Amino acid sequence: MSDLDAYRSKAAAWLESMVPTYGKAARKGLSEADDLALARKYQKAKFDAGYAGINWPTEFGGQGKGHLEKVTFDTEEMKHGFPSFYFGISLGMPIPVLMQFGEDKAWVKERVLKALQGEEIWCQLFSEPAGGSDLAGLRTKAEPDGNGWKINGQKVWTSWAHYSDYGVIVVRTDPNVPKHKGLTYFWVDMKAPGVTVRPIKLVGGDSHVNEVFFDDVKIGDDHRMSPVGGGFAVAIATLMIERYVATDSAGFGPHLDLFVELAKDTELNGKPAIEDGRIRQQIARNYAMRSGLQSITARAMAMMQAGMTPGPEGSLNKLVAVRSRQKLSELAIDLQGSDGFTYDDHASQKEDWTSSWINAPTGRIAGGSDETLLNTIAEKILGLPQDHRPDKGVPFNQIPA
């Protein structure tokens, strides 16, 4: 048995022991507040057992293991419906960026330990009403204020902002230079005076995303995580992490096994649907596609383990996975006939085909829209010429709004 197999079986056994207290059945019927309280306890249990920060440096409270161990654990964890998603953004992007770019190491270490134990949650304040896919087009501004800065503007689609203690934010500090050049990256206290968070109700029924307003929010220069005007590079580093951390070959929808079960249990023309050639073809295509995406992720993880930076292939993961999830969910609903119309807004997108389908468009926008990803694939992977960009090299305040 390889070391990784031994790690997997040990992790699987521990996770199995957590199911009665924190698994899907234990969470059924809980309010979001009670579910979050349970999630914090589960995150602490993970930390105590050595399964939080698996591939993070030991100096920050991590386990110092490789990315392969992290993916192995995550794969096993996914099977049981644990409430780990509250911390997905926090531990996925802002905290790794804080470890890399935060100046005050003692303060950073304290934040990392609290986040790893589920005590504190971080959010990522990027998208804006007029600058979603075009991150460099953002308009929230920070102006010098004494020894620090004053932030004014609005962010939108910020996941878990209503539960967050801190956030990382990209703002415009110089409107007189081209749009990519005038941005600076900070962290901000989400409980500071002038920060207002308003949840947005999604079509699927939940409200985990928010609008966030900043009205004369004062921060010190010690909140700055990039050189003044050098924020775009740190933002891109964050998004590169996101394309690999926030990756799932199922597009964060139901596992393919669930579709196979459905096809066995559903009749089509008087026979089990699994016997229909068209259905078998869809299962085969999805299996091949998901295996290909998992290979891209495994290669990226191996590159990270070797100290290399993975390339833009992560864009393929997100683009293909969520699109295929949407199509497969639609087919599953069609197979169920009128039963496919029953909708439970508390059902998990990973287990319920209707919930998966109705929430899929959100997944196709979040973390980079299809159009943005197609551009990245065309330019960075296929080497095609860039789109015409009329705002290239133009000072931001001279771009028509």
Domain limit, last residue, from 121, 137, 162: 121
Same domain, 132 and 92: no
| Residue 396 counted as domain residue | no
Q: Is the pLDDT of residue 128 over 60?
A: yes
Same domain, 252 and 377: yes
| Residue 40 counted as domain residue | yes
Is residue 239 helix, strand or coil? helix
Same domain, 131 and 190: yes
Same domain, 116 and 176: no
Same domain, 127 and 225: yes
Q: Any idea which residue has 């833009």 for tokens?
A: 312
Q: Which residue has the higher pLDDT, 70 or 109?
A: 109
| Residue 78 counted as domain residue | yes
Q: How many domains does the chain have?
A: 3
Same domain, 291 and 275: yes
Helix axes 277-305, 231-245, angle to 10 degrees: 130
Residues forming beta bridges with residue 85, ordered by sequence position:
none
Domain that holds residue 76: 3-121
| Residue 387 counted as domain residue | no
Long-range CB contacts for residues 176-179, cutoff 8 Å, separation at least 24: 176/395, 176/396, 176/397, 177/229, 177/395, 177/396, 178/391, 178/392, 178/393, 178/394, 178/395, 178/396, 179/136, 179/137, 179/391, 179/394, 179/396, 179/399
Same domain, 338 and 325: yes
Same domain, 205 and 327: no
Neighbouring residues of 244: CB distance < 8 A, sequence distance ≥ 6: 297, 300, 301, 304, 310, 314, 317
How many C-beta neighbours within 10 Å does residue 329 have?
25
Same domain, 298 and 227: no
- Contact yes or no for 386/380 (Cβ under 8 A): no
Domain of residue 350, CATH code = 1.20.140.10
Q: What is the pTM of this model?
A: 0.86
Same domain, 93 and 127: no
Same domain, 75 and 112: yes
Q: Is the pLDDT of residue 309 over 80?
A: no
Q: Is the pLDDT of residue 352 over 60?
A: yes
| Residue 189 counted as domain residue | yes
Domain of residue 183, CATH code = 2.40.110.10
How many C-beta neighbours within 10 Å does residue 177 have?
17
Tens of pLDDT, residue by residue over 368-392, are: 788 888 988 999 889 999 888 888 8
Domain of residue 50, CATH code = 1.10.540.10
| Residue 91 counted as domain residue | yes
Same domain, 150 and 110: no
| Residue 400 counted as domain residue | no
pLDDT of res. 305: 65
Q: Is the pLDDT of residue 246 over 80?
A: no
| Residue 199 counted as domain residue | yes
DSSP E strands, 174-293: 183-189, 195-200, 209-220, 267-268, 271-272
pLDDT of res. 108: 93
